Amino acid sequence: AAATALGLLPLGKTQSPESLLDIAARKVAEKWPFQRVEERFERIPEPVQRRIVYWSFPRSEKEICMYSSFNTGAEDPATAPGVA
């Protein structure tokens, strides 16, 4: 109610706190690749695996474009100028 009174939330909309599972999975995904988590821990419950995988993927369009680029920085010799 106080947040609504301050104009922080639209009327009729409430925010739910983030679950402990999501917070923990997000922190794990920020620090370690999923493959390393799988190698380190013998048994990871499936719901935990799903949330870590979910948080492992980039969120913003800019990050998605950056990580989906296949440019490795090395030029393809077939497309380099002067190559016949």
Packing angle, helices 20-31 and 46-56, rounded to 10:
50
Nearest to 26 by CA among 2, 3, 1, 57: 57
* Mean confidence (pLDDT) of the chain: 77
pLDDT at 71 over 70: no
**Amino acid code (one letter) for 76:** D
Measured distance CA(11)–CA(5) in Å, rounded: 9
User: Which segment of 1-5, 13-17, 47-51 scores lowest on mean pLDDT?
Assistant: 1-5
pLDDT for residue 26? 94
pTM score: 0.56
User: Which segment of 7-16, 43-52, 60-69 scores lowest on mean pLDDT?
Assistant: 7-16
